[in-house]
Amino acid sequence: KAGVTQTPRYLIKTRGQQVTLSCSPISGHRSVSWYQQTPGQGLQFLFEYFSETQRNKGNFPGRFSGRQFSNSRSEMNVSTLELGDSALYLCASSPSARYNNEQFFGPGTRLTVL
């Protein structure tokens, strides 16, 4: 079974631009969570989608948004990029809504904002 895939793997943008990152979960997984990883703040939860619905959201500004499609693939969008948005963005998929399910992580998208 293929793992979680994220595209692109690396991205360079300039301040003010917007960016869209994509995550394809493991086949059959319906829950997708997104995390931002930076050296200063560590790993922080962005949001979670299940069956095309956002069920949970972390403490990030409205510039960060996401969506999930009927095939469970998910995208996250960051508008009006700031230098501080430079980070590794990880997505993780889980088979169902059970709380003890393991989250399977993708390799991440490294975003650099210049």
Q: Does 10 bind another protein (CB under 8 A)?
A: no
Q: Which stretch binds another protein (CB under 8 A): 15-23, 60-68, 72-80, 104-112?
A: 104-112
Angle made by CA atoms 61, 47, 76, in degrees to the nearest 5: 75
Q: Which stretch binds another protein (CB under 8 A): 12-20, 64-72, 73-81, 88-96?
A: 88-96
Q: Does 42 bind another protein (CB under 8 A)?
A: yes
Pick one of 19, 21, 29, 108: the residue that binds another protein (CB under 8 A): 108
Nearer to another protein, 24 or 94 (CB): 94
Q: Does 95 bind another protein (CB under 8 A)?
A: no
Q: What is the DSSP secondary-structure string of 79-98? A: -S--GGG-EEEEEEEESSS-
Q: Which long-range contacts (CB under 8 A, 24 or more apart) does 37-44 make?
A: 37/87, 37/88, 37/89, 37/90, 37/108, 38/86, 38/87, 38/88, 43/90
Q: Does 50 bind another protein (CB under 8 A)?
A: yes
